[in-house]
Structure 1
């Protein structure tokens, strides 16, 4: 796939095209004027060439004006965050692909989520938008993805991450008399690997979707890109590590065991002891992951006078317990909880950012006038320190 030109380069190219056509019109006009002064009547061929040159110049001028307006909107609007679907439908290569009378072949666009991106004003997709076509008026419900943000990020160009996983650290450091034998400490590690796995799915749609910018954007954002994130979050938490599954945080975590002989009498007590267990392993926790049902149960707890122990129903409260943020996600099982130092325990390695590919290269697509749209990403999850993660039951469900 050829390197795409920047907006500035396209503007310069359009401007050069306009100047060339303008010079052609000027040359024809000067030639006709010189012949008129000599009493020579312009031929019909000369008039046709002049008409064609003027039409070409006007078309080039219209393109130049449109490009300058887009550049002006960019300077006024600054950086505008765009969804995966918006980045796909506004890609110049895709516009060229979709603008064909009968699109044939395929086109690929990376749609990695980023915070901001310099672009034209939001929604500026030009002639692709047809006034008599509408995108989806009601979007499907979407789960808020939060687990990835807890884990250290990374990238790789390989299909396998190899690393040393820490098993045990025996610290025998002590005061030593002069000339005495120094004590030896032990650090036990084991070889571990995290294979890069692929998450992908596809949909088939009518080829007319290529001309419907809102509809295509909704399909990418609400179905394809969201579907990848949904499967990814489930794998990051609960992947079994077998077959094509990632080794998830829950699978690798250390089982909860109340430390110090302390006894928990409530869900909040259990969470506090999980935090203690992680801290005693010398990994200060930075988050709690639990199901929304369990978080609601914690928030609904009251004292003997019926007053809420956490927050006020009439006010707002950040989801925190014992100073740690609570991540409520349905990817976590009911009555289960994971406490950990997530950024020290694990790291995500992105091998291929989320990519959207459209293709008509299929016999069934051809005869049915369909197009296949595929979303795909590749990543690995390395679990460095299982002791930094504690997983267990809240004891609410028997």
Structure 2
């Protein structure tokens, strides 16, 4: 046994502890996550957030009167809290949008939200390009919960206009609010209509990553259930009621109660599992690798084009100031113009490639569903 142990020790290098090193470093540093919630007043956004993270972020909120709501514009309201669970710290930022959809004219409700998302990308790009890159604070929106009212037959025109401007900038997850207002058949019909509207208007929601082949069957089943539940039908409540000898969160009616964490009553458990337990890191990775990279590529392309135009303009001015134009200067100007045209074509090709990639992913998902 001693000889075998010595042989093992000689063959052991030690890099197998790298995951443990990364884990210790990550836990020590903590994690950041920014969640944006968008929807009309009264759809239960605050209640859902309090139920998800077991806190009370809105205890000091003042509900505006009807007259004030009609004249309100969309605003940005940030709330932060630190949560610790089993030694892991999470710095959570909730970005709320009071006033969204409350006014009579809601055509410009999207502008404030889109500007805020772009501002966070711009700030991160500026910090990333600066000298002090070690302590960059990530305030980018990693996920957006968009609330759909239970009334209606699908997405409204306001919803469609907003999502078309938002779905390429942030991970969008749709939530049907106060789903206990609908019967089972009505809820199925609403979900089908919403998915049909998304496909008609080519709106992309957050795509769950496919399971690896080596995952266990239970995890694969949970992944299938999450994908089949989109959009999530939610019932939220902060009231604890004793039912069957145990305390549960539920909405109480004269005929009984609707349990928040009962899968037969609500998709709350599935939403919480997706948002916190299984896909939080993937939401952050998708924000970094897809949405932010698209914004970063556009910024670099614009900076290059502006620099090229400024250089061409300065050269033209210097050439025009001379009486004789040398053949070398003329060739340089032609080359600059050719490079500018090539850059424009490159940007067009990148947009076309991105569109084709999205179409291929949609076809792949459709084929998987058919199978």
TM-score, normalised relative to structure 1: 0.22
TM-score, normalised relative to structure 2: 0.23
Write 1 or 2 for the structure with the bigger share of strand. 1
Question: Of the two structures, which has the highest relative contact order with CA contacts closer than 8 Å and spacing of 6 or more?
Answer: 1
Larger Rg: 1
